[in-house]
Amino acid sequence: MEKPKHKLLSFAYFLESSKFYNKIKKFVYDLIENDEYKYKRYFDIFMIFVILSSVTLLVMDVKRHIPHWLDDFDLYFVTTVFVVEYLLRMWVYSDIHKIIIDEYEESSYFDKEMSFYSLFTKIAKNKWVYISSFSAIIDLIAILPSYRGLRVLRVFVLFRAFKMLRYTKSLTGFLYVLKNKKFELMTLLTLSTFFIFIAGIMLYVFEGDNENPNIHNLFDAFYWALITISTVGYGDIAPVTPEGRVVTMLIIFTGIGLISFVTSIIVSSFNERLSVLREDRVVQEVGKKKKLTVVCGYGLLGRLVVKGLQKEGVEFVIIDRSEEMAAVAYNDGYHVICADATKGTIFEKLGIVDRISHVLCLTSDDIQNAFIAVNVKSLKSEVYVTARCSDQEIATKMEYAHVDQVIMPEEVAGMMGAVYAGEPVAFEVLLSIIEEKDKTHINEIAIAEGSFLDNKMIGEVNFERLRLILLGVFKRSEESKLGEFIFNPSDEFVLNAGDNLVCIGYSTAVANLKRKM
């Protein structure tokens, strides 16, 4: 394809290939539109402050004129912020240069001359979709109160408050609920309007002919019907005829039924939305963590593992597809998401590419654990996956699927039972260490690069002085993520950064050595 000769086309191709331009545009888009972007919350807080300050100044100015510097702050700073935000939102809504390139390439493909009139029409229509949207209209109207020469425009100060809908998720969630139940609510609104219309006419017929001095026209009758069906009942208009009172009783019962129906619709919709809002909140909170462990399944084994992770200070999040178990984990004070871990969407939300380091598949279903493990490995093979399994055949297939570690609780329980039957004293000692009785437990200590243990032989380290007993060393290797465990290494064994010491000792001694790392 020939290079475009027109300057506009050349500029469009320049923007398409410019990394700096695309980087800036993506940053602006994330800042004002992407809820998962970590800096967006600061932008939202800033905009809420600007909106509240402008509303406060305009309300104060109703009774007495505010100082000149505050007037300038509202006129220049606040207006500039609103205008710039409006233009930036219009800018990131779509890419004009891509429309130009598409039009040019289409014309070249069909060997016809590109029509600039058609091009600008497409661009205008594209931007008009944004300009005519509800949120963009609110943004535009919110700028009008700044022009103090026309006092009538100050009524639009209310629209500045509406702008906060963009920046507060609670209000956005409420609007989503209303939008989600639009059909039901519109049906109720139509029904209510019909009852108000019929009741108003009936009351006007029965009491409008000088029977009731408070009803002067049909509007008064409709007003009475509205406040009665809404169960507000100001009392300024009351029926005086028997027929009017019968109509009142009927419309009161109708109003109670309609309000109950509306309440049930909104409450049910909020219950449906609550899990989504909670999931978004959890994703945002764990999104601040650099290293995250995901526990899939909050059964008996999952609870025991979670307690251990919490004790070790490991950042984790629980995923369980059972709403009941997710509620239990939430009530226990943990970060939990009710979702199906066999699907990749939830792991992508949590940031499997650069945040998740370990995934523990601990559900009671072996097949589900296998699916979760395969799902995680397909998204990122470097994530360390541990899976619970009861069936030896499925465990073998998990190993073929490159699951890093398969745990068979029944085998572990059997081995522990054999130890207890043959050597009960040794079993009690081992159980005491596992349960951390007397503050003694087994711990893994990673050797940091440049620490006092890096490049040293075992014989040069005085573990007795450190109040620790060395069981062995995990030596990292390229072939295996876990590496090789060397039990009771000789004094000539050289320790390197990345190796892990497995020691027994008091928690204070372990903490002391970790601090030195």
Residues 217-235 pLDDT 10s: 888 889 888 888 887 877 7
Q: What percent of the chain has pLDDT over 70?
A: 82
CATH number of 182-273: 1.25.10.10, 1.10.287.70, 1.10.540.10, 3.40.50.2000? 1.10.287.70
Phi then psi for 505, rounded to 5 degrees? 175, 175
Domain with CATH 3.40.50.720 in the chain: 288-407
pLDDT at 24: 92
pLDDT at 27: 92
pLDDT band at 335 (very low <50, low <70, confident <90, very high): confident
**Cβ neighbours of 30 (radius 10 Å):** 17
| Segment 262-278, tens digit of pLDDT | 888 777 777 766 666 67
pLDDT at 88: 92
Torsion of CA 226, 230, 232, 237, to 10 degrees: 30
Q: At what angle do helices 7-17 and 96-109 cross, to 10 degrees?
A: 120
Q: Contact at 8 Å (CB) between 12 and 97? A: yes
Which stretch of 99-103, 160-164, 262-266 has the lowest confidence by average pLDDT? 160-164
Rounded-to-integer distance, Cα 373 and Cα 385, Å: 6
Distances (CA, A) of 18 to 10, 13, 60, 95, 373: 12, 9, 48, 13, 40
CATH architecture type of domain 437-516: 2-Layer Sandwich (3.30)
Higher pLDDT pick, 414 / 195 = 195
Fold of 288-407: Rossmann fold (3.40.50)
What is the value of pTM for the model shown? Answer: 0.54
pLDDT, average across residues 109-133: 83
pLDDT band at 1 (very low <50, low <70, confident <90, very high): very low
pLDDT band at 339 (very low <50, low <70, confident <90, very high): confident
pLDDT, average across residues 304-332: 85
Q: Contact at 8 Å (CB) between 37 and 132? A: no
Domain with CATH 3.30.70.1450 in the chain: 437-516
